[in-house]
Amino acid sequence: MFRILPWRQRGLGALLRLMLAWGLLESVRSGFYAGYLILYGPKELGLNAAVVGLSFTIHLLADSFGKGVGGYLVQRYGIGVVTIFGAGMGMLALYGASSVKSPLLLFLISGVWGLSLASILPGLKTLSSRLAFQGREGRALTLTDGLTAPWAGIGLLGVGLVTKHNPDLAFALLLGGQIAAVLLGISLLGLSITMRLRKQEYYPWRRLLIFIPAAFGQTFAPAMIGFQVLPFAQKIGLLPWQLVVLIVLGGGLVFALVPFTGRIADRVSPRWLLILGLAVLGVSMFWLASKPGFSEMLLLAVIAGAGFACFVPSWNALVIRILPEANRAAAWGTILMVEGLGFALGPSAGGFITSTFSTVSVTARVGGTIFLVLSVFYLIVLWRPFWKR
């Protein structure tokens, strides 16, 4: 098994525990806002859907803005401390947010809760890259994302279903997830990601600027259209089972291709895979704007899945190659902050464009344009003389 995995055996247990802790924290917050509070709040607390949605947005924005400093804090205090702090604050936030009837107080609790989680993901990504075999760092980060991303959906669907039948049981499950994360954090006390180098490298502002456009665009563009997937599917006549087939087909292809594209990005160069992936995603968005039928959508799902399979591992491998070891957690924090801003602002921008032009197709074209512009941007920025330097 260790021939297949990108990580060394020593330290893998700690990495898996941290992945589990972050997955639990992700599932709790998505399950609380989108599965529990959205159903429980209007009936018992008098909080409408707009208030609940805005509180979740504030939570995510606070998490995003805090990641820049959070990356430094995890280097300073260690992974165990920041995990315990984030999970502990989440327990307090659950008790407060589940009983408060004031929207302003709910917004405040949501913001503090988001800030408390800002250090964990930069620490997770840094630890994953440090434990990876040399030349497999990009695949390690891609696999880390793949193992932790589904937790948000699991929490949303699972807690939502339980809340409909037994809100008390749903809250108990949320609280149990936070307690488990605290215990996992205790097991990680003493684990540090700080590297002692002979010559300390300065914070890589100039190198970091290379990643800012893609960090924002890669989450902003999909979020614009992702927020409106269900209405768009209904408008073009897709049935629910057909939408599920498309998602499974595209997502399954990503997981199938990533081991091969990740090997190319790690061993050869992530440059051309990154440019190709962004270009394919841009073309896919324009194709989606033409409102294709189900048969065409099957082919589109395959092409878009291949684009993501090229982009994601090459993006991770590029970050590993360019950012210095000493300040990697802090740099990851800044990149994740920008990604979070794109994810948070995308739905509102997409909704505004769709409302202005009365069609989702324009939104899809804007997203496709963003991907194509990013592809040209990296074709210029990663020009061979610069790449050699």
Question: Domains of the chain (ranges plus CATH)?
Answer: 12-187 (1.20.1250.20), 205-388 (1.20.1250.20)
Contacts of residue 358, defined as CB under 8 A and 6 or more positions apart, other chains included, come to none
Per-residue confidence (pLDDT) for residue 243, from 0 to 100: 79
Question: Are 89 and 116 spatial neighbours (Cβ–Cβ below 8 Å)?
Answer: yes
**122-136, 175-189, 261-275, 369-383: range with highest mean pLDDT:** 175-189
Asked if pLDDT for residue 201 goes beyond 60, the answer is no
Between 237 and 288, residue with greater pLDDT: 288
For the chain, how many helices (H) and strands (E)?
A: 18, 0
Phi, psi of 319 (to 5 degrees): -60, -45
Residue with tokens 């270009």: 279
Give 330's pLDDT tier (boundaries 50, 70, 90).
Answer: low
Contacts 24+ apart (CB under 8 A), 200-208: 200/326, 201/324, 201/325, 201/326, 201/327, 202/327, 203/327, 203/330, 203/331, 204/322, 204/323, 204/324, 204/327, 204/331, 207/322, 207/323, 207/324, 208/323, 208/331, 208/334, 208/335
Whether 317 contacts 143, CB under 8 Å: no
Q: What is the mean pLDDT of residues 353-365?
A: 83
What is the per-residue pLDDT for 302? 93
Chain centroid to Cα 273, Å, comes to 20
- Nearest alpha carbon to residue 25 among 219, 198, 174: 174
How many CA atoms lie within 13 Å of 1's alpha carbon, on the beta-carbon side? 2
Residue 184 has pLDDT above 80, yes or no: yes
Q: Please check the confidence at residue 137 and state whether its pLDDT lies above 80.
A: no
110-119, 224-233, 371-380: least confidently modelled range: 224-233
244, two tokens: 């599920």
Phi and psi at residue 119, to the nearest 5°: -90, -20
Determine contact, residues 36/170, Cβ cutoff 8 Å: yes
Q: Looking at residues 364-381, what average pLDDT do you find?
A: 91
DSSP 350-364: HHHHHHHHT-HHHHH
Q: What is the pLDDT of residue 1?
A: 55
Q: Quick one: pLDDT at residue 279?
A: 95
Q: What is residue 105's predicted lDDT score, i.e. its pLDDT?
A: 92
Q: What is the pLDDT of residue 2?
A: 55
Query: pLDDT class for 230, splitting at 50, 70, 90?
Result: low
Asked whether the predicted pLDDT for residue 281 surpasses 50, the reply is yes
The proportion of the chain whose per-residue pLDDT surpasses 70, expressed as a percent, equals: 90
53 CB neighbour count, 10 Å cutoff: 15
Highest mean pLDDT among 118-122, 184-188, 248-252: 184-188
Higher pLDDT, 325 or 39: 39
pLDDT computed for residue 328 by the predictor? 65
Quote the pLDDT of residue 277. 92
- Indicate the pTM of the whole model: 0.73
Mean pLDDT of the chain: 83
- 124 membership: H or E segment, kind and range: helix 120-131
pLDDT confidence band for 324 (50 / 70 / 90): low
Quote the tokens at residue 81: 């401390």
Does the structure show a pLDDT above 90 at 254?
no
- How far is Cα 49 from Cα 63, in angstroms, rounded to an integer? 21
The pLDDT of residue 198: 45
